Structure 1
Amino acid sequence: MAAAFRKAAKSRQREHRERSQPGFRKHLGLLEKKKDYKLRADDYRKKQEYLRALRKKALEKNPDEFYYKMTRVKLQDGVHVIKQTKEEVTPEQLKLMRTQDVKYIEMKRVAEAKKIERLKSELHLLDFQGKQQNKHVFFFDTKKQVEQFDVATHLQTAPELVDRVFNRPRIETLQKEKVKGVTHQTGLKRIAKERQKQYNCLTQRIEREKKLFVIAQKIQTRKDLLVRKESLRPFFFPFLSCKGLNSDWISALCKSTPVKMSAPQGQWFEPVSLTLDSVEMFLD
């Protein structure tokens, strides 16, 4: 009965609280409690146990022991790095990659051609460098008319506008209608600068389209040569000196049937397989 009374009395007691850091020791930080010390001590013991296990593992390690990971890992600057294995490409995969390369380059070339056409239509490029200039032929009856001929007078326009094939208004139109657009010098310079920038962009795109066309042709040629190498059947030819061989002899030999020829002494020559690479070597 007394024990039960003591337990009931403890439940009504004031909660025990630890004091905080005194005012004259506040510069040292918070006062560490028992629970704080326990967390710090457990963490320290855990780290020490981990280090002890590592030391034991290093001491008990067998230097002659083999791990399968050793075949694909190397030590570089004290750090284990996975080796980069070179992927083997089969002839079928090589053909597919080259076909995809040709299609991709052709797609980019067509895209460049469409951008070039759009820029030309925006810039009204009728006298752009690289494009054949149009010819305007005037017919006259007498030689005197040819000598007195003036292009601006004949076209009824200002002499400054003769070269503007894409936009050449007449003098009557200029007198009746007001000039639309920028008239001050700063705006004209800005427009001329933007126009020149577009011309430069167009020139670069034309050059890029030409280069892409050449690259596509080269890749297609390599692909055709690869197919030709595989279609060329191997055959045997006598082990002779390379002197005296020409392209006609090689082509005739390529069309002939596989044969074995014997030496004058009755000994057989070593049979050699002839492919396109060896033919090119002889022709060089």
Structure 2
Amino acid sequence: MSVWKKAAKAHQKSHKERHQPDDRKHLGLLEKKKDYVRRAQDFNEKKETLKLLRKRALNKNPDEFYHHMINSKTDNGMHFEKEAEEEDTPEQVRLMRSQDLRYITIKKTQEQRKIEKLQAQLHLTSVDHNVKNKHIYFTKNNKSSLKEEKFKQLAQSELPDVDLDDLAEAAKKKKHLYNELGKRIRREKELSVVQQKIEMKRHVENKRNVLPPKRLKKGNHNRAPIYVWKYERKR
């Protein structure tokens, strides 16, 4: 019997749901039954989710430690996720986009040569490497006068024939060279990090890799990311 009913319904006219009347077109599309079903399902899912979260909040121990509290914060009653530290600085991104690996390598080599040249010029000849007893001097004068007195004693003991003004000028020049050496070392280290990041990016994007590598450590401002490739046996 049911087969004949289905056969009879196959030739029936399909009735469409009514459209929005002309005087109510400003309210938008008329909601159909299928739209109401979806809206009701979404409402009930959100209701059950809120009920579950409320239950978890009531059963939660406030003294219990969990790792997510380190990566989140609450500001004026609103919960926010802490922003992750950016892997690259703006200068590193600009260098990687505008220049290629060869340019970075050349600049790094130049910085290394300048560092070696500055290190060859600077020698700690006035430093006594022998261990001496430490004495504390108590004077009524200020610290500047004590430093000047020690400087004069050092000059008279090591360089008695040299003028103090020339010695002060040499010390000032040496300090300037040390500052320049520190800047060169920091620049060379930054170029090394950029070079490592470019090389690692090229290895990861290599089309000959059958399997994608696994990242062990995320990169930051001071180091490149670390990847490991699965060993593939050569045929």
Q: Which one has more relative contact order, counting CA pairs under 8 Å at least 6 apart?
A: 2
Shorter-chain TM range is 0.3 to 0.5
Normalising by structure 1, report the TM-score.
0.32
Return the index of the structure with the highest Cα Rg.
1
Normalising by structure 2, report the TM-score.
0.37
